[in-house]
Amino acid sequence: DENSLNLKREHFRSKCEELEMCRRAIIEMKSHQVRSAISHKERADYVDKIEPGVALITLDWAQKMEPLHAREKQSDYYAKTGISYHIGHALTKIGDDYAEHLSVHIVGPHVPQDGSAVSMITESFLRELKQMKIHTCLIRADNAGCYRNGPLMRSLIEMQGTVGIRIEGFMYSEAQAGKSACDRGSASVKRKARDDVAANRGKVDTKENFFKLLWTGTLLKGVSVHLCTISGVKNISSKIPNITNYSSFTFEPTTIRLRRHRSIGDGILFDFSKLEKCEGNMEITKSG
């Protein structure tokens, strides 16, 4: 009858929509895998060409560090506020051998993870690398909004003159594919904190105690730790049109060359004088 026919039509339409959703999901997954492979090759090609004085920098906001105590009441276990910290990883060469350095900036629990904070932390990291005789670098990060924005690009371009390191550009990795160096560093930081708390050598309840724990006892090799206070951050709305379409930014004298991938095509040129730079202040109260 008519009702049965309508039900069959509705069921058929539903299955067609489901198949279309699956088809799109498969195409998106294949696209992600291709982009990941290209991104990995771009990184590998740059690493192969690294020489002394040149560094590949990877940036990432680590997952917040939850407060830790050797012993705590059940009531203190809930509603914890995590402590934000940022990881910067540099890969370079000393002689013929590869060398790594990790920089940890602990900023506290209530600091927004935005482009202004990234700009100030990156400048601090670059000044640190300058002391290690780094003169050229390429920066890499994931697709988080704090890294993919116009004001950060303008700040990095101007930073070259004040810090004395030439930044070749900024390269973005695919989601969950490209920041493993920072993830390894973050895991080492948390492992040391948890081990020291378990041994009753300290606690992680404030950013000051977190810093103290990382800079006492058996230290992590090739790691510098900074305790920071960030203030005066302003929201800058300056934008690069269709910025999410590009994963490679090359800094040139008066323009930024935007490409979907670093090694493919000529890209398009964008006049960076149209951008405003990030604003804010960061005070490093302790370093180790």
pLDDT for 183-192, tens place per residue? 899 999 999 9
Tokens 């039900």 sit on residue: 7
Which whole number is the average pLDDT over 45-67? Answer: 92
Q: What's the whole-number mean pLDDT along residues 136-162?
A: 92
Residue 60 has pLDDT above 70, yes or no: yes
Give 19's pLDDT tier (boundaries 50, 70, 90).
very high
Mean of the pLDDT values across residues 169-179? Answer: 82
State how beta strands 255-259 and 248-251 pair: antiparallel
Residue with tokens 């929201």: 235
Q: What is the pLDDT of residues 65-111, one digit of tens each?
A: 888 887 777 777 777 788 999 999 999 999 999 999 999 999 988 88
CB under 8 Å to 12, separation ≥6 — which residues?
Answer: none
3-class SS of residue 263: coil
More confident residue, 201 or 283: 283
pLDDT at 201 over 70: yes
Residue 68 contacts residue 209 (beta carbons within 8 Å): no
CA distance 14 to 138: 49
Chain-wide mean pLDDT for the chain?
A: 89
Mean pLDDT of 22-40: 87
Distance in angstroms (rounded) separating the CA atoms of residues 133 and 248: 26
Helices of type H across the chain: 2-49, 74-77, 115-130, 150-163, 180-198, 207-214
pTM, two decimal places? 0.87
Q: What is the mean pLDDT of residues 141-151?
A: 90
**Other beta carbons less than 10 A from residue 217's beta carbon:** 12
Strands 166-172 and 136-141: parallel
The pLDDT of residue 265 is 83
- Structure-block tokens of residue 79: 């509603």
Does 10 have pLDDT greater than 70?
yes
pLDDT of residue 1: 67
Which pLDDT value is given to residue 74? 75
Beta pairing partners, 229: 283
Interval 20-25 mean pLDDT: 94
Distance CA 210, CA 220 (A): 14
Spatial distance between the Cα atoms of 43 and 89, rounded to a whole number of angstroms: 14
Bridge partners (DSSP) of residue 90 are 57, 101
pLDDT band at 260 (very low <50, low <70, confident <90, very high): confident
What SS3 class is residue 248?
strand
Question: Where residue 237 falls among pLDDT bands split at 50, 70, 90?
Answer: confident
Q: What angle do CA 280, 253, 60 make, to 5 degrees?
A: 45
H or E segment to which residue 138 belongs:
strand 136-141
Residue 94 is classified by DSSP as: E
Quote the DSSP letter at residue 144: -
* pLDDT value of position 215: 87
Q: What is the DSSP string of 165-222?
A: -EEEEEEEPBTTBS-HHHHHHHHHHHHHHHHHHHTTS--BSSHHHHHHHHTSSSPPTT
Residue 105 has what pLDDT? Answer: 96
Position of tokens 């404030």?
206
**Region 112-118: what's the mean pLDDT?**
90
What SS3 class is residue 96? coil
